[in-house]
Structure 1
Amino acid sequence: MNPTPVKPEAAAGEPSELQRLIADSVEGLFADLIDAEHLAAFEAGDHDPELWQRVAEQGLPAALVGESAGGSGARWSEIGPLLRAIGYWQAPLPLAESMLAGALLDRAGLALPDGPLTIAETGRHGELRLCPDSQRLNGVLARVPWARDCRWLVVSGLDRQLALVDLRQAAIRLDRGSNFAAEPLDRLHFEGAEIAALAPQPLGEIDAPLWTLGALARACMLWGALEATLDKTVEYANQRVQFGKPIGRQQALQQYLAQLAGAIGAARMACQVALDSADAAFAGEPGGAHRLRFDVAVAKVCAGEAATLACSVAHQVFGAIGFTREHSLHQATRRLWSWRDEFGSDSQWALQLGEAAIDAGSAGFWNGLCERSL
């Protein structure tokens, strides 16, 4: 096991040095490689290998892996700008999944294989069972992100164990699927599939770790896509002229945009709090796992609700042109529609918060809310 090293804290509200470096690096990279034409080509089936090669050259997939294992040793709060940039630029690659997989493999003491990785949580993505020899798997997983583009799968929830599985074996059959943005969400059938490596599940106090951390990643990606949508919408409102003035000067439209900006601000803050909680949970702080689950639920609810509002406001402002393939708005809004439902929808996470509050009862509700441990 390779625990994340403790690093000096930045001043309150100030990004750390590594956070600034990651943000500058990834923004420059994505701005150089991703545009509307690139995304349109991806949706047409042209997956550009250069994008993965470039992010791999910069060590981004191993950002959460300890330095002793060849990674950057970054904290969760330090990769927030990277997850946000994936959403802002709608980067079509399994970078978030690879980072999460690498983080858990590193914690479990397992070597990180080359190439992109995908993740799944048995019991949430489907049901996998260990064969009696504990070296093979049977079952089905559904809606596995980017499975067709990854050789390796990291799956948790197998009798509290973490498994690394080679997807390029005859015992695994893949049925192709996708989300609204044409990103792969595949179905995998396991018939005695061999396990490449198996270890006790790290962070055992976190229930369904890959599901929980996957929800955190999607919330942060939603945060980025929300900001991209707002930027596009404000720019268009200031450029589109009706009755002799930009439509952005209309009070009703300004109110819609202000409401959206407020919802995005809440989602951004919720994501940042959840990222800090992931740091605490990985550092083994008392109560860290409970706070992480609470904060991830809040982040996914806030980001999902903001996504619903953003799609409504943006498409109302743009009108008919925003629904056309020729305009780039749909590249952000279709990802908002997709990501808000992946790794649990906002309503599913809200239900968990509500059930926990009810279980706490009147005596435990307030303390649980303040301690973020419902």
Structure 2
Amino acid sequence: MSQDTLTDTLIEDSAAKLFSTQVDKDRRLRAETGEWDAALWQQVADSGFHLLLASEASGGYGQGWTAAYPLLRGLGYWQVPLPLAETMLAAQLASAAGFDIPDGPLTLIEQGQGNQLTVAAGDGLATLSGTAHAVPWARHATAALVSLADGRVALLDLQGAPGVQVQPHANHAGLPSDTLVLQQARLRAVAANPLALDRPVWTLGALARSTMLVGALESALEQAVRYAGERVQFGKAIGKYQAIQQQLALMAGDVSAARVATQVALADAPGGDQHSCAATHFSTAVAKVRAGEAATRGTSIAHQVHGAIGFTHEHALHFATRRLWAWREEFGSDAAWASELGRAAIAARAAGFWPGITAKTF
């Protein structure tokens, strides 16, 4: 067994042990009331998961995105109510930019993409003003990693910082997706974007969400298959009926395609020994499109198989499907990413289409 394979196995085993034993219905429901699960976050922090992508020089583990697959997939599969994905990405970009990584959970902001933000030179450090929408877990985050439109990245303190107002909102899953109103909020640190990647927060955030979508899809599929084998109608399990089998087979195919597309994108993402970003944007777009489409069809099939019981709050299915509805829209919907790919393909014209596909860049 290679060292990389051993590392991936250890991460996968550790994540499965923690999430499967500690994350239950009560924890998920409490998160939807706005309660911060400090105990669960401390267990994650003690494991070092949040620093997996950060460089060793900054106190992290210097792993690549492929090593993060079990964690990100696990967030979806066990519906973990924590901003671990956001913190992992923020820590990676902060460490690559030479910033000291703030303690505690972190969140992400991309200037533009619906956020009306302006940067002004202040007395010393720059300031940020305007409104940022749908900032995940902002009310609980100690700081935000901000990707600026001018090609820089910055750190913004949140908790109790002057000029920072948090307006609580929730996404379809009932998880924090807050609005930040900033009035000359002083940036803690500013540096050039350390990656050769435009919109690093938006793009890598979409990659993280794609992987989380895969995990939630796998959970919904397993629940649907299990229920189809348990629910008896007209004297036999509904899973014996060809129509149900066909729908589950379609969902399984979608989940498999989304998983493969996401794993390709993870391999193309910068991190660890992989520093090239040449194919990152293309592969992430494909992954977000495929995972988003799978989420749309998969939630429909899972609820059709379950019938009325799947829509009840008491049943566990909604924890997966509501996350699928939320995450398919965050960091760009599948339609938005498909439009980007389509415009690039049209610009490449016929002569550049096939070379662009094979090189994973238009």
For normalisation by structure 2, the TM-score amounts to 0.96
1:110 maps to which residue? Answer: 99
- 1:278 is paired with a residue of what secondary structure? coil
2:75 maps to which residue? Answer: 86
2:128 maps to which residue? Answer: 137
Q: Tell me the CA shift for residue 158 of structure 1.
A: 4.6
Q: Tell me the CA shift for residue 9 of structure 1.
A: 6.9
Aligned in 2, Cα 1:36/1:324: closer, same or farther, shift over 3 Å?
same
Deviations 1:77-127 (A, max 9, x none): 111111000000110010000000000011111111110000111012513
1:216 maps to which residue? Answer: 207
Counterpart-to-counterpart distance in 1, 2:20 and 2:149: 40
Tell whether the 8 Å contact from 1:171 to 1:191 is kept in structure 2 after alignment.
Answer: yes
Count residues with an aligned counterpart. Answer: 359
2:253 maps to which residue? Answer: 262
Q: Tell me the CA shift for residue 309 of structure 1.
A: 0.8
2:361 is aligned with 1:362:
no
- 2:254 is paired with a residue of what secondary structure? helix
Tell whether the 8 Å contact from 1:130 to 1:158 is kept in structure 2 after alignment.
Answer: no
RMSD over equivalenced CA pairs, Å: 1.6
Q: Tell me the CA shift for residue 281 of structure 1.
A: 9.8
Question: Counterpart of 1:199 in structure 2: which amino acid?
Answer: A
**Moved segments of 4+, more than 6 Å:** none
2:247 is aligned with 1:247:
no
Q: Percent identity?
A: 48
2:309 is aligned with 1:318:
no
Counterpart-to-counterpart distance in 2, 1:271 and 1:44: 31
Counterpart-to-counterpart distance in 2, 1:122 and 1:129: 8
Match 1:342 to one of 330, 335, 348: 330
Counterpart-to-counterpart distance in 2, 1:282 and 1:208: 21
Deviations 1:171-195 (A, max 9, x none): 1111111101111111111111111
Aligned in 2, Cα 1:78/1:230: closer, same or farther, shift over 3 Å?
same
2:12 is aligned with 1:23:
yes
Deviations 1:268-326 (A, max 9, x none): 000100000004797333xxx23110100000001000001111101101111110111
Counterpart-to-counterpart distance in 1, 2:179 and 2:168: 6
2:39 maps to which residue? Answer: 50
- 1:74 is paired with a residue of what secondary structure? coil
Match 1:194 to one of 167, 186, 193: 186
Tell whether the 8 Å contact from 1:18 to 1:74 is kept in structure 2 after alignment.
Answer: no
Which deviates more from structure 2 when the two are superposed, residues 207-216 or residues 129-138?
A: 129-138
2:154 is aligned with 1:170:
no
2:146 maps to which residue? Answer: 155
Which deviates more from structure 2 when the two are superposed, residues 170-179 or residues 264-273?
A: 170-179
2:283 maps to which residue? Answer: 295
2:109 maps to which residue? Answer: 120
Counterpart-to-counterpart distance in 1, 2:60 and 2:343: 39
Tell whether the 8 Å contact from 2:32 to 2:174 is kept in structure 1 after alignment.
Answer: yes
Question: Counterpart of 2:265 in structure 1: which amino acid?
Answer: A
Aligned in 2, Cα 1:280/1:355: closer, same or farther, shift over 3 Å?
farther
Counterpart-to-counterpart distance in 1, 2:108 and 2:65: 18
Aligned in 2, Cα 1:159/1:197: closer, same or farther, shift over 3 Å?
same
Which deviates more from structure 2 when the two are superposed, residues 26-35 or residues 272-281?
A: 272-281
- 1:187 is paired with a residue of what secondary structure? strand
Tell whether the 8 Å contact from 1:125 to 1:144 is kept in structure 2 after alignment.
Answer: no
Question: Counterpart of 1:200 in structure 2: which amino acid?
Answer: A
Counterpart-to-counterpart distance in 2, 1:82 and 1:359: 37
1:63 maps to which residue? Answer: 52
Which deviates more from structure 2 when the two are superposed, residues 239-248 or residues 33-42?
A: 33-42
Counterpart-to-counterpart distance in 1, 2:126 and 2:286: 37
Question: Counterpart of 1:221 in structure 2: which amino acid?
Answer: M
Counterpart-to-counterpart distance in 2, 1:292 and 1:26: 25
Counterpart-to-counterpart distance in 2, 1:44 and 1:130: 34
Question: Counterpart of 1:182 in structure 2: which amino acid?
Answer: G
2:217 maps to which residue? Answer: 226
Tell whether the 8 Å contact from 1:281 to 1:292 is kept in structure 2 after alignment.
Answer: no
Aligned in 2, Cα 1:29/1:125: closer, same or farther, shift over 3 Å?
farther
